């Protein structure tokens, strides 16, 4: 009597699994079968596609011109002023730029301080910036904050700090799109008096195709404002223009709380979602722009809820660019049980904050967007 042998199908495409022909459907490597077929088996072709689904290039795009210009900054041991937008910055710095400026004196300026409530102290934000830059091997010589894009803010303390640190050297001002460089320079120019033989001008930087603003500081030193660093890992670079307006806070950053536990998830429009995979009920704070909305759904309904939200727009912002789960990446974190407040930040959109109790969390976000877990910005 013959015994029955189980015939296995690929869990994804349903093809009958076979080890004989790579060209035919359902091919699975002999080695995998010999090591014991996985409980949920996939043919090689589906398996590779799945791997692609969950990985995407998180590299910042780096403009070659910026690197060329920074080579000059290195050669002349110049002072770097690095502006970061305190709302969207989540600690992911462009590694090529980091590598260049590491050996130089760097002053970090956090812009848009005015978007944080009065309960958030300068010390908290400065400590946050210090920790994020230190992680990348940069120990800033000073960290300053700047807020408000009207003219009420006094930037003299920053100018004084820059003067102290400069010691007759050139200054290179760098920062991502919208980090506040122009606003800062315009304020600086309000009280600037040109006592040099040079003019302020915007010119193609030698050997590049990039315009650089040059402000003479003495007859032999300049402030150079570089072109924008790429924000290719920010939600801002992935969504439609109108949506950028929606997610960028104009007023004080909103903090909303949801008390959720295992099996629940918080959607932020269709641009991010935090799932609680395991852990007790806990308060999760979401910090975001005033037009951004959140909604709690069951973990196992997230894909469906995203699909419904695209049609009904019950939780904004909704981008038309993300049509299915294939357009998102997933990351998981197991927080330490340290009772400290941790942030999981989605660059350019929001950050989730909760106390570390050893809970397991999963985050869904548009492919290529940078995510980072660290101790909280607002503690
Ligand atoms: N609330 C607030 N908004 C600011 C501040 N600084 C700049 N902004 C706003 O942020 C946006 C970008 O500022 P810019 O100064 O143009 O930034 P940039 O780095 O020169 O950016 P691009 O040249 O556009 O790449 C503008 O809408 C400003 O009004 C600030 O301190 N607080
Ligand atoms: Mg500008």
At 112-165, the pLDDT tens digits run 999 999 899 999 999 999 999 999 999 999 999 998 766 666 788 898 999 999
Atom number of ligand 1 nearest to Cα 176: 19
- To test the pocket of ligand 1, the residue of 158, 180, 188, 290 to mutate (highest count of ligand atoms within 8 Å of its CB) is 180
The counts of H helices and E strands in the chain are 9, 17
**Residue range 196-205, pLDDT digits in tens:** 999 999 999 9
Q: How far is CA 47 from the centre of its chain?
A: 29
Nearest ligand, CA 229? 1
For ligand 1, the distance from its centroid to the CA atom of residue 81, given in whole angstroms, is 16
Torsion of CA 33, 39, 44, 48, to 10 degrees: -140
Q: What is the pLDDT of residues 32-79, one digit of tens each?
A: 888 888 888 899 999 888 776 666 656 667 788 999 999 999 999 999
Q: What is the pLDDT of residue 7?
A: 87
Ligand 1 centre and the CA of 374: distance in Å?
A: 26
Ligand 1 pocket: which of 86, 154, 178 to mutate (most atoms within 8 A of CB): 178
**Å from CA of 111 to ligand 1 middle:** 8
CA distance linking residue 285 with residue 294, whole number of Å: 11
How close is the Cα of 91 to the center of ligand 1, in Å?
Answer: 19
Pocket residues: Cβ below 6 A from ligand 1: 111-112, 114-115, 146-149, 175, 177-183, 228
Relative to the CA of 111, which ligand 1 atom is closest?
31
**CB-side neighbour CA atoms (13 Å) of 226:** 29
Average pLDDT (184-198) is 93
pLDDT attached to residue 152 = 64
Enumerate the CATH 3.40.50.300 domain ranges in the chain, comma separated. Answer: 64-225
With 70 as the cut, is the pLDDT of residue 317 above it?
A: yes
CATH topology of domain 64-225: Rossmann fold (3.40.50)
Mutate to test the pocket of ligand 1, among 183, 224, 226, 289 (most ligand atoms within 8 A of CB): 183
Q: Tell me how far the alpha carbon of residue 5 lies from the centroid of ligand 2, in angstroms.
A: 68
Ligand 1: residue whose CA is nearest its atom 25: 177
Least distant ligand from the CA of 228: 1
pLDDT digits (tens, 9 = 90+) for 238-252: 999 999 999 999 999
Tell me what pLDDT residue 249 has: 97
For residue 127, the CA-to-ligand 1 centroid distance in Å is 23
Atom of ligand 1 nearest to the CA of 178: 21
Bridge partners of 360, per DSSP, are 278, 334
Looking at residue 272, what is its pLDDT? Answer: 98
Q: What are phi and psi of 316, to 5 degrees?
A: -95, 160
Instruction: Kindly give, in sequence order, each residue whose CB lies less than 8 Å from that of residue 39, ignoring residues fewer than 6 positions away.
Output: none
In this prediction the pTM is 0.86
- Over residues 85-106, the mean pLDDT reads 95
Question: Closest ligand 1 atom to the C-alpha of 249?
Answer: 1
Closest listed residue to residue 29, CA positions, set 57, 6, 1, 10: 10
Give nearest CA residue, ligand 1 atom 29. Answer: 149
Please tell me the predicted confidence (pLDDT) of residue 57.
58
CA of 226 to the centre of ligand 1 (A): 15
Which phi and psi (to 5°) does residue 131 adopt?
A: -65, -40
Closest ligand 1 atom, residue 183 Cα? 15
């Amino acid at each position: 009597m013959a015994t029955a042998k189980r015939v296995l199908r690929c869990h994804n495409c349903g093809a009958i699994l076979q080890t004989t022909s790579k060209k035919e459907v359902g091919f699975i490597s002999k080695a995998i079968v010999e090591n014991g077929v996985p409980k949920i088996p996939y043919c090689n072709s589906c398996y590779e596609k799945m791997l692609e689904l969950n990985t995407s290039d998180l590299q910042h795009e780096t403009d070659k011109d910026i690197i060329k210009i920074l080579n000059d900054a290195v050669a002349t041991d110049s002072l770097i002023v690095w502006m970061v937008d305190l709302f969207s910055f989540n600690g992911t710095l462009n590694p090529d730029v980091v590598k260049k400026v590491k050996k130089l004196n760097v002053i970090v300026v956090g812009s848009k301080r005015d978007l944080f409530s009065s309960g958030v102290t300068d010390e908290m934000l400065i400590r946050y910036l210090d920790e994020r830059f230190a992680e990348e091997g940069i120990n800033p010589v000073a960290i300053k904050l700047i807020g408000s894009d009207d003219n009420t803010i006094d930037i003299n303390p920053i100018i004084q700090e820059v003067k102290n640190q400069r010691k007759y050297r050139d200054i290179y001002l760098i920062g991502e799109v919208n980090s506040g460089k122009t606003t800062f320079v315009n304020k600086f120019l309000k009280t600037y008096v040109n006592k040099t033989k040079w003019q302020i001008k915007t010119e193609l930087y030698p050997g590049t195709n990039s315009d650089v603003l040059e402000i003479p500081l003495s007859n032999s030193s300049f402030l150079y404002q570089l072109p924008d660093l790429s924000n290719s890992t920010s939600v801002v670079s992935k969504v439609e223009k109108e949506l950028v307006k929606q997610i960028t806070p104009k007023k004080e950053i909103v903090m909303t709380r949801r008390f959720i536990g295992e099996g629940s998830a918080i959607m932020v429009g269709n641009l991010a979602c935090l799932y609680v995979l395991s852990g007790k009920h806990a308060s999760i704070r979401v910090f975001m722009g005033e037009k951004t909305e959140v909604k709690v759904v069951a973990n196992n309904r997230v894909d469906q809820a995203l699909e419904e939200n695209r049609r009904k727009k019950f939780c904004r912002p909704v981008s038309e660019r993300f049509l299915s789960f294939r357009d998102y990446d997933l990351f998981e974190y197991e927080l330490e049980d340290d009772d400290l407040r941790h942030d999981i930040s989605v660059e350019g959109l929001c950050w989730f904050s909760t106390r570390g109790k050893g809970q397991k969390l999963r985050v869904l976000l548009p492919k290529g967007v940078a995510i980072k877990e660290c101790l909280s910005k607002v503690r």
